[in-house]
Amino acid sequence: MKTLRTDDPSFPQVWAKLCARGSEEDEGPVREAAARLVADVRARGDAALLEATERLDAWRPESAAALVLSEPDFAAAFKGLDASARRALKLAADRITAFHRRERDAEVPTFRDRAGALLGQVTRPLARVGVYAPGGTARYPSTILMTAIPARVAGVREIIACSPGVRGSGEVDAWTLAACHVAGVARLFRVGGAQAVGALAYGTETVPAVDKICGPGNAYVAAAKRLVFGQVDIDMIAGPTEVVVVAGPKADPEEAASDLLAQAEHDVRAVPVLLTPSPALAERVDAAVQRQLQDLPRRAIAARSLEERGALVVTRDVAEAVRLADEFAPEHLALLLPDAARWVKKISRAGAVFAGTFTPEAVGDYVAGPSHVLPTAGTARFASPLSVATFRRRMSVLDFSPKALAAVAPAVEALAAAEGFEAHARAVRIRVNGARPARAAPARRKAARRPAAGGRARAATRGRR
């Protein structure tokens, strides 16, 4: 891993480049290829899905129906796992459920304001959502749990999933199917990439259109999500995974190295960064990374991530390390500090903070409770983790009495006049003082002055209107 020092004159430029990670992920050929796939699925539906699956995943479904797996498949897969695997899935599901049930929607309780109007805001769950679980270089049953369970807690009526089958066979591993069982997924479609995003956004004869697409994926998935946003909602544009480890001088180098490798083994584009005020610790961490790398099954992937995108940054002190971590706005921030809880107060921009030596990032990936779908590539500056709120929408409710409307009418009319919208002002005047358009007014005044008459006269009056 390359070593940087904050007292080096060139550090600001190098650091800025490191912070800009992920900005190129869906540019050029990737975006163009994703756009073609999405457009083809939108135009031709199932036929396009089947052709893309054969061409890109190297297996040929007999029909679109062969893409669909459902609860009997999920239940059978769950039953087929050994007892320890079932317990692990259940523990993770229970903890995720328990955490997200404690969320509180940002509703505005109904209240009566000074004018007498009743105002408030309520939340409603989305009707149908699609969750995406990556395939390719690894399987992610945990992503099924971390997306579908918050959606279920939110009250979403139907949760469907897309995940690419194994290249060449289309098989989906038992852990992913079992995760669908415990998470409450209705159906899983064995399709991935940009074509899956297009199917979820626009619908096909077999895949229903959804209201929102959630879950991470490769660069093609990210580009496709960006393309379909507006047709449907999305959770975020997820880039490669990343971790920043802030380690004090007395931190265990083996622990710091393990946290860096836990992200590096995901993807060659993963970004692992260490910030420490101790040059000696930086050297020991680098050596520990090389030792642990030797017997890592995904060694080639992790090594490339560390070489191309990793960094060991030596800072002036812990305070500068924490400041730089906040500036980086990482997806995962590990604080290997003896007083980690105190430093959390200094952090405002991170997807998730792992405080203290006994809180490795890996526990957050699987069983801690909060969803592991987090903002990446610096978007923690403005974005939040996936949550129950991701799957609910707010709806304002307004209920004015005659007195309340009269109290605010002059202000409405003044603002409407300033913007040149006479119909807005008229909509208020009609209700407050009975004002009507000029053509109708003479007939009403004449009718009001007419002496009482029999039914025949009243009928004649109505006829003239």
- Catalytically active residues are 331-332
Q: What is the Cβ-side half-sphere exposure of residue 139, based on CA atoms within 13 angstroms? A: 14
The candidate with the shortest Cα–Cα distance to 77, out of 177, 155, 152, is: 177
Give the bridge partners for 396, in sequence order. Answer: 121
394 conformational bin, left if phi > 0, alpha if psi -120 to 50, beta if neither: beta
Q: How far is CA 185 from the centre of its chain?
A: 18
CA separation, residue 430 to residues 52, 274, 427, 442 (Å)? 59, 67, 6, 16
Hey, how many other C-beta atoms are within 10 angstroms of the C-beta on 261? 25
DSSP string, 390-426: GGEEEEEEEE--HHHHHHHHHHHHHHHHHHT-HHHHH
d(CA 269, CA 240): 6
Sheet containing 212-214, strands listed edge to edge, beginning at the edge strand earlier in sequence: 68-70, 187-189, 158-162, 128-132, 212-214, 233-234
Residue 55 and residue 40: Cα distance in Å, rounded? Answer: 14
**Cβ(282)–Cβ(274) below 8 Å:** yes
